[in-house]
Structure 1
Amino acid sequence: MKKWLIMLLTVMLGLLGLAGCSNGETTSGDAKDDKVEITYGVWGKAQVPVINDVIKLFNEKHPNIKVKVELTPYGQYFQKLETAATGGAMPDVLWMNGPHIAQYAEGKVIIPLNDLIKKDNYSLDNYPKSLVDLYTVDGKVYGIPKDFDTTGLFYNKKIFDEAGIPYPDDTWDWNKLKEVAEKLTNKDKGIWGFGAMMENQGGYYDLIWQNGGHILSKDGKQVGFDTPEAIEALKYNISFIKEGLSPTLAQMTETAASELFISGKLAMKLDGSYMVPDYRVNPDIDVTIPPKGKNRAVSIHGLSNVIAANTKHKDAAWTFVKFLGSKEVAEEFAKSGVVIPAYNGSQDMWLKSVPNMNLQVFIDALEYSNPLPSVKSTGEIWQYETDVLKKAWAGEESVEDAVKELSKKANEALSKN
């Protein structure tokens, strides 16, 4: 009987040992002598070349970990993730943005990194606190900051020169923007003075903040789209289309506003620093500080690298995420000019990446920036914005009626948080 009990205890202890190995701290395929392959989900095509260079650097230090990049256009990215999460097929490491972090964290689709950070004594002081806070949900850190972006007023110097008009500067306000847009609009040449895009980040969010309005109440229970300040800001944006100073929504859907701008069909447009890689191909394009409304304000956002909860290679994924968050990688992205790296001290190198553009305006914008709202239902609200506001942009519905419908739907979504 004693011998039988000893054998039984031995088997039970063995099973407990196996269970301990399957708790996610040490996963299959992560042994030092084994080769593993992890996937890296991203959506920025312009960043793929530098990502591939970064992976080469990573493999010099970690030859046993192969990284496969999975590129998905942003328009399909989160839809694809939802399907992948349901089927347990998420990329091991992936990009995450602020508007979706709460949803994916609370849904346990991605893992908190606190224990891993503590185990390796990994410092988060290397990144702006606002970005670390953005990816912290209920006191747990879910993402290591990768980059950040703010807004500037891009303009075509050639169009200004031909019209004999001085370039925009920090003295401009909303009235000046409209005045110059009128002068630069030339129907004979097919040139519009301004591109009034229907985009929240780098678009109507910025204008609402500049007009003293808000996107989300401080308690996170109501949106501010139906306030007088927001309505006035939206009307100002759409007025460029109504007055023929901007392409219509249909025209900017048929041919992206960015393409119209690069080809010299738009004189000016508000946009984020993430568009620098696209716009630098035209040497006539430069950027300056956005015009001021009642306040000077722009949006700020940034991406982070997160780890999927269903990864079979947690240790390898964390090793890769740590490397992605290093100064070495930040400098690679800075030299490429594709994004402003989040790692403190690496931004100066980014400023030199495109010497013919005044990129300093994006760094200066940190002083008057507003973080994009991040709640569990942000993604749902963004979809409502797209579905409803396009009626106002297309002239099918008044701004007042559109924001009334939008606010009702958005507030219902917030009530479920």
Structure 2
Amino acid sequence: MPRIPIHRRPTVRVAAAVATVGALIAALTGCSGGGGSSTLDTKADVTLTWWTGQADQAETILEGLAKQYEQLHPNVTIDVSSGAPSTEDLLQKLSASFAGGNYPDISYAFGSWSSQLEASNRTLDITKQVSAADVDWNGFSGAARQTARPTGKKTIGFPAVVDNLSLIYNKKLFDAAGLSYPTDRWTWDDFRAAAKKLTNRATDTYGYGYSVSGSEETTWQFWPHLWQHGGEVLSSDGKKAAFDSAAGVEALTFLRDMAIDDKSVYLDQTDTKFGQLFAGGHIGMITSGPWQLYDLKTAKTDYGVTVLPGTNGNHETVSGPDLWTLFDHKDANRAHWAVEFTKWLTDPAQDERWNVAYGNLPLRSSETSSAAFQAQVKALPGLEVMAANSANAKHARPTVPAYNKLSEAIGDQISAVLQGQGTPEAGLRAAAAKADQALEGNGP
């Protein structure tokens, strides 16, 4: 039985760590670092440092894969560890290691950190290597590939974990309300109508649950609505917020009308309670990812999974890809083997033993036909739908250094509007103004 993935859902790092990385960028830009071999010798002994960002079962799986690689390549030693007490602590640890010159060759990183890591002037550019036919780079989702190329100039790593938001529904509540189950042709109007019928104040049952904590959970749930209406998070040059648009207003008005007019939305202040209430039969639908399925299996909830409802046939979702980021020590041998090991690690055969065995989504759609993935689907029904839904992850969340402040700005306003405070137009306008300050480097 798979464990709950350590990453659970993609997050943004707190401002203190972002500030630390930002302060280091100025000091590190232009520094050469390292001082190893400039000539590649594939037979030379090499030691790689790998920070996995994982714990418990996940860490054990990855340590086993490192040992296997060492057996296949006796000249390669991999010094593997979690790197920090938790995944969230890795950014701070990486920041300190850049300053001290003892940074790893490979590290797990949340996708939202990628532009900050590239700006550190410590990452390898592996654009040429991933274009090789044996990598199957296009087999990764578009969002994962974009996250690995945060500025479009360099490819700084391989996808490590992928996920997406899908629609999960409580079959028992749908049956009790006499409703047909959601399908992959549902529109958001279908969704709203069902949510109204599922809502029963006498039993404290709601049609839908949405986080109003103002965190990234609030924000990233909004992005598919924006994108499906043709909106964008940022301007094409990445310097201005673009969500304060007709598409943004239409998207937020829809959610506001469900919450305020229909009163069909449970507004969760905690980010986690809506999942618990869904599992317990008090919310009919949630939009969540693969990390939710283990909890539902444990609670014995009778659930189903489909893609997000669509707008004009567009069922776009949001993904939170994380990375195996590679770092440059100015050593040709270390760089070569860091790429080779990470390429091997993300090949389908190894990914089935890591992501698939652990209950995550496979990195590539080609893995869904494997016996290993089908076994997980039997244990966690709906996982196959979420894997297929990766094709609907067409946009990558922005990876600009100011994203966390942008996320806070719009997350706070979404939360306020859904609780009846202000209009969608005014809320998005205020959020955009604050986000623009942050993007210009002048935000609080």
- TM bin, normalised by shorter chain, reads 0.7 to 0.9
2:109 aligns with: 96
2:202 is paired with a residue whose SS is coil
The question of 1:336 aligning with 2:357 is answered yes
Aligned mate of 2:140, from 110, 128, 138: 128
Aligned mate of 2:346, from 300, 325, 344: 325
1:224 aligns with: 242
The question of 1:69 aligning with 2:94 is answered no
Q: Once the 2 structures are TM-superposed, how far is the Cα of residue 195 of structure 1 from its aligned partner?
A: 0.7
Structure 1 residues 180 and 114, CA gap change in structure 2 (3 angstroms): closer
CA distance in 1, matches of 2:33, 2:399: 35
Structure 1 residues 61 and 205, CA gap change in structure 2 (3 angstroms): closer
Which letter does structure 2 place at the counterpart of 1:112? D
CA distance in 2, matches of 1:74, 1:390: 27
Structure 1-normalised TM-score? 0.77
Q: Once the 2 structures are TM-superposed, how far is the Cα of residue 49 of structure 1 from its aligned partner?
A: 1.9
Structure 2-normalised TM-score? 0.73
Q: Do the aligned partners of 2:164 and 2:319 also contact (CA within 8 Å) in 1? A: yes
Alignment of structure 1 residues 43-82 onto 2, 5 Å: 48-62=56-70, 64-70=77-83, 78=91, 81-82=94-95
The question of 1:404 aligning with 2:421 is answered no
The question of 1:376 aligning with 2:400 is answered yes
2:49 aligns with: 38
Q: Do the aligned partners of 1:334 and 1:353 also contact (CA within 8 Å) in 2? A: no
Structure 1 residues 141 and 409, CA gap change in structure 2 (3 angstroms): same
2:176 aligns with: 162
Which letter does structure 1 place at the counterpart of 2:352? E
> Across the two proteins, how many residue pairs are aligned to each other?
389
Q: Once the 2 structures are TM-superposed, how far is the Cα of residue 73 of structure 1 from its aligned partner?
A: 5.1
**C-alpha offsets along residues 342-388 of structure 1, whole Å, 9 cap, x if unaligned?**
24621333355223624443344355433124343334422333344
Q: Do the aligned partners of 2:307 and 2:315 also contact (CA within 8 Å) in 1? A: no
The question of 1:194 aligning with 2:218 is answered no
1:346 is paired with a residue whose SS is helix
2:287 aligns with: 270
Q: Once the 2 structures are TM-superposed, how far is the Cα of residue 172 of structure 1 from its aligned partner?
A: 2.3
Structure 1 residues 369 and 22, CA gap change in structure 2 (3 angstroms): closer
Provide the alpha-carbon RMSD of the alignment.
3.8
1:345 aligns with: 366
Aligned mate of 1:298, from 296, 310, 317: 317
1:342 is paired with a residue whose SS is coil
CA distance in 1, matches of 2:165, 2:356: 20
**C-alpha offsets along residues 62-108 of structure 1, whole Å, 9 cap, x if unaligned?**
16434212465566554565455456565553223443322210222
Q: Do the aligned partners of 1:127 and 1:145 also contact (CA within 8 Å) in 2? A: no
Gaps of 5+ in 2: 1-31, 72-76
Q: Once the 2 structures are TM-superposed, how far is the Cα of residue 328 of structure 1 from its aligned partner?
A: 2.2
Q: Do the aligned partners of 2:36 and 2:329 also contact (CA within 8 Å) in 1? A: no
Structure 1 residues 174 and 222, CA gap change in structure 2 (3 angstroms): same
Larger Rg: 1
CA distance in 1, matches of 2:141, 2:394: 14
Aligned mate of 1:256, from 246, 262, 273: 273
Q: Percent identity?
A: 22
